[in-house]
Every structure is written in structure tokens, then in C-alpha cells.
């Protein structure tokens, strides 16, 4: 199979890329990035693109499955408008190009509590993205709503502190569905889902992600 990946330089995307390059089911992996990366592999094809210039790259979005792991934080983006452009506009544009080019399978990393009706901007944005990608009509769409993600060697103070709090709550039987999830476990689940062609739309949260990754 030929895999397409956006978000390959992020925590989840980089773990996913490593697994895709090792997986014999995939004979080619095309990634779409804004700057060059250090990884080299015989199966890897790197496309350095400007996501704003869709007509320059849309014809390249052809393959068997699209993995979408693109995303940023409000702090990194600098404003809600800039975050929307990355987390919604770019992902939707690539998904639409994939659909138009005949890609049948898409795996989308969304967020926990994504909802159009949320009072929080981030959750509303993710809810809108999920809805609009559903309406594109992929033959197989897998949507992941992971809990807090654990990144290797993370120096994000809020992330480290939050994961400790949730683990304490888990130890007394609370928030079991929100047990922090290592990005490498999520990546394993993403690949497993991409090989499942049973349903048209499938959605995965906390425990279901762990189960899918079979760990």
C-alpha cells in the first residue's frame, strides 16, 4: 500500500512515520511537510510544500490511505485564526484533495471531547473538522479522539503536570477513560485502523485505542 501522511514532524506523526517505514504492508510512504526532515529511507518520499498553495500540491495526494496528524497549540500558532488555519484549513484541504483523487481510506487524529457544541474554541474546531471530513464521503474513515498524549522526553510543564494529576485520579478509580496515552501507542492503533475496511466510519476513544493497539 501507499501511505500519505501530514503532520509527520509532530510527536504522533513522527512515531507513526517510523512504524510505517517498518511495516511491510506499506511499500511507499509520502509525507507532506513545510521543511526538510533528517530521515532517509528507500520507501520514503518527502514533499516540501506550502499548504496555502493548494494548486501546487493537490495532484500529489494520491495513494491508498491518508493519515492526518497535523495540529498545533494556540501558544505556538499565536492566535485562534492561525491555529484554525493549521488544524482545520490545511487538514480539510488535504482531505478534500485525497477524496477528489480517489483515496478510499482516511485516518484522522482529532481530540478528546471534540464537539460543535463545546464552549471551548479548540473542541469546537475539532468537532467542525470531524463533521466536514465525514461529509467528504471516504469509503473508510477512522477518527481518533485520544486523551492527553504522552510525548517522549516532553518538556511541556502543563503536559507533565496534567498527566501526573490524571494518573493520581486513575489510581482511585476516576477518569479511567482519560488515562494518558503514549504517542507511540496511538501510532500503532492508527496503523491497525488503516487496515480495517469493515465499516464506513469508525471512531475510537480512550480504552478503544489501547485495545486496537493490542497492548
**Over the stretch 9-45, which tens digit does the pLDDT of each residue have?**
999 999 999 999 999 999 999 999 999 999 999 999 9
Q: What is the DSSP letter of 151?
A: P
- Which of helix, strand or coil describes residue 2? strand
What is the overall mean pLDDT for the chain? Answer: 89
**Could you tell me the pTM of the whole model?**
0.88
Taking alpha carbons only, the member of 94, 82, 95, 3 closest to residue 41 is 3
State the Cα–Cα distance between residues 77 and 72, nearest whole angstrom: 7
Contacts of 172 (CB under 8 A, 6+ apart): none
Q: What is the pLDDT of residues 158-194, one digit of tens each?
A: 444 444 444 443 444 444 555 789 999 999 999 999 9
Q: What is the DSSP letter of 20?
A: H
Q: Which CATH fold topology does 2-151+179-213 show?
A: Rossmann fold (3.40.50)
Residue 9 and residue 37 in contact, taking contact as beta carbons nearer than 8 Å: yes
Q: What is the pLDDT of residues 50-103, one digit of tens each?
A: 999 999 999 999 999 999 999 999 999 999 999 999 999 999 999 999 999 999
Dihedral sign (CA 44, 48, 52, 58): negative
- 3-state helix, strand, coil split of the chain in percent (to 5) is 45, 20, 35
Q: What is the DSSP letter of 215?
A: -
Residue 177: what pLDDT? Answer: 53
Amino acid at each position: 500500500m501507499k501511505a500519505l501522511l501530514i503532520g509527520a514532524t509532530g510527536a504522533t506523526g513522527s512515531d507513526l512515520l517510523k512504524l510505517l517505514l517498518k511495516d511491510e504492508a506499506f511499500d511507499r510512504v509520502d509525507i507532506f511537510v513545510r521543511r526538510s526532515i533528517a530521515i532517509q529511507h528507500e520507501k520514503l518520499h518527502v514533499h516540501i510544500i506550502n499548504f496555502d498553495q493548494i494548486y501546487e500540491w493537490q495532484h500529489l495526494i494520491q495513494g491508498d490511505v491518508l493519515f492526518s496528524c497535523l495540529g498545533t497549540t494556540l501558544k505556538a500558532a499565536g492566535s485562534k485564526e492561525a491555529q484554525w488555519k493549521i488544524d482545520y484549513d490545511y487538514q480539510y484541504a488535504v482531505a478534500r484533495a485525497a477524496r477528489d483523487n480517489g483515496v478510499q481510506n482516511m485516518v484522522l487524529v482529532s481530540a478528546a471531547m471534540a464537539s460543535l457544541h463545546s464552549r471551548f474554541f479548540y473542541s469546537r474546531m475539532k468537532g467542525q473538522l470531524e463533521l466536514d471530513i465525514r461529509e467528504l464521503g471516504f469509503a473508510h474513515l477512522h477518527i481518533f479522539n485520544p486523551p492527553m498524549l504522552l510525548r517522549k522526553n516532553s518538556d511541556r510543564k502543563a503536559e507533565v503536570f496534567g498527566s501526573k494529576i490524571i494518573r493520581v485520579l486513575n489510581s482511585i478509580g476516576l477518569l479511567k477513560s482519560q488515562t494518558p496515552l503514549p504517542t507511540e501507542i496511538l501510532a500503532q492503533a492508527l496503523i491497525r485502523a488503516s487496515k480495517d475496511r469493515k465499516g464506513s466510519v469508525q471512531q475510537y476513544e480512550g480504552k478503544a485505542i489501547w485495545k486496537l493497539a493490542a497492548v
